[in-house]
Structure 1
Amino acid sequence: MGSLSAASFALVVILSGYFASLSLTPPNENPAAHQAWGQDSIRLLIQPGPIMVVRLLVLGIALHHAAVALMLHTKGAGRAPDDGVNHRLFKWTGFTSFSLFLMLCVGTPLRLSAFGALGSRFTFGLAQPNELNTSGIYHYIQHPSYTGFLLIMIPYLLLFVRWDGSVVYWLPRRVRRSLDGWGFVGYVAGFAVIALGAALRVSEEETMLKESFGHKWETWNRNTKRFIPGVF
């Protein structure tokens, strides 16, 4: 039973890494220069090269987490307790189950449904729109792709990217100990950057849509929540 639990955990971790990487894969190529919207603050970050690096990193971290989970199960103690490995991050617990559930069963379907709803019009780079989609998932929220993205990446970071997780195996003990106590600060800073980036991006998109569709967009914007249906 223990082996089945460890194997199932590793498999779900790998799937979460795969779908997190997939959610960062542009469903269509960025718009050509003559189609691109003028104000796009992250244009340089969404070029094929940077996107590929991030995708591989996201998948690689999850694969390593799965490998460590299997190693800890096979070898028992793995690293000694004073090396700071939190074994609860590498097996089924309430926290790991909920984190993986959010990534796989909430964030990923929401993100991919947003891709599908816009079809060939969904690009990571801002492009001059020719239609305002207010049906399907967009009937309920204006920015489902960002909601999905956050519901994937926040639990991903909280589960996989932490000093007492698989990072232990990347850093010398001296370096890791110097980072002890800074995890919370790092998360706050990281989430602040993500929140500010998302807010800026949403602002640019909404400016583009307002200029393109005027009153139609204003009515939709007034009657539809941005990120959580009926709430926010």
Structure 2
Amino acid sequence: MMKYLILLSAIFFVSEFVLMVFKRSQKEHTLKKSDRGSMALLWITISLGFTFGFIFANYYIWKLANYVVAGVGLLLIIVGVIIRWLSIFQLKQSFTVNVVIATNHQLKTDGLYGYVRHPSYLGLLLIMIGFALAMNTFSSFLIISVSMLLAVLYRIRVEEQALKSEFKEKYESYSKKVKMLIPWIW
């Protein structure tokens, strides 16, 4: 089971790397940059989270409960990938891996963005929590999920400051209606 999880994590890592290479903002289309190191923090957190998560993962004794937990983890990974990529496709050209305001930037408030303000980060968190569960140890779960949540919350704060600065009252109104990460809750 663990070898498949390692393979799946490598595929995830490659997909995120491809996003980083091809979906960086272009300087000629950038109005304001305000990433403040959040992309680097996400990469470091993902890399270290996987490294230490796999170090502490359960490779040996698996019972039915372990397979159930791993199955739930795999389900979360699948749901997270769907949410993440759907949110990226819905943003189209506006999606970038670094936090910028483009010259033609429009505030997206429909589709998944009508349910949560940051569906891409929700998907990323679900993916990472799924991997953490599938590793089948409490240590791996804590290492990955807590560090990733903190990194994503920092990234959201950076992004929201940029959006508030650009869209002012329109973003304030949107953020009062639509929750940050969990529909109708948070």
* Higher relative contact order structure (alpha carbons within 8 Å, sequence separation ≥ 6): 2
Query: 2:109 is matched with which residue: 104, 127, 134?
Result: 134
Matches within 5 A, 1:100-115: 100-104=74-78, 106-115=79-88
Distance of aligned partners of 1:93 and 1:161 in 2 relative to their CA distance in 1, 3 Å threshold: closer
How is 1:7-22 mapped onto 2 (pairs within 5 angstroms)?
13=5, 16-17=8-9, 20-21=12-13
Post-superposition offset of 1:99: 1.1
Indicate the SS of the match to 2:33: coil
RMSD: 3.6
2:24 aligned residue:
30
- Deviation at 1:200? 1.1
User: Residues 190 and 12 from structure 1, CA distance in 2 versus in 1: closer, same or farther, beyond 3 angstroms?
Assistant: closer
Runs of 4+ in 1 over 3 A off after TM superposition: 9-19, 43-46, 186-192
- The number of equivalent residue pairs is 173
Residue type matched to 1:108 in 2?
V
Note the C-alpha offset of 1:159: 1.9
When Rg is computed on C-alpha atoms for both structures, the one with the higher figure is: 1
TM-score by length of 2: 0.74
**Does residue 71 of structure 2 align to residue 97 of structure 1?**
yes
Point out where structure 2 has 5 or more consecutive residues left out of the alignment. Answer: none
Task: Write the deviation string for residues 125-147 of structure 1: whole angstroms up to 9, x where unpaired.
Answer: 11114110101110111000111
Question: Match of 1:227?
Answer: 181
User: CA 1:103–1:38 in 2, change beyond 3 Å: closer, same or farther?
Assistant: closer
Query: Are 2:71 and 2:134, in contact at CA under 8 Å, matched by a contact in 1?
Result: no
- Length-normalised TM-score, structure 1: 0.61
Ranges in structure 1 where 5+ consecutive residues have no aligned partner: 1-8, 66-83, 163-182
Question: Do 2:39 and 2:155's aligned partners in 1 also have CA atoms closer than 8 Å?
Answer: no
Q: Which amino acid aligns with 1:148?
A: G
Amino acid at match of 1:94: V
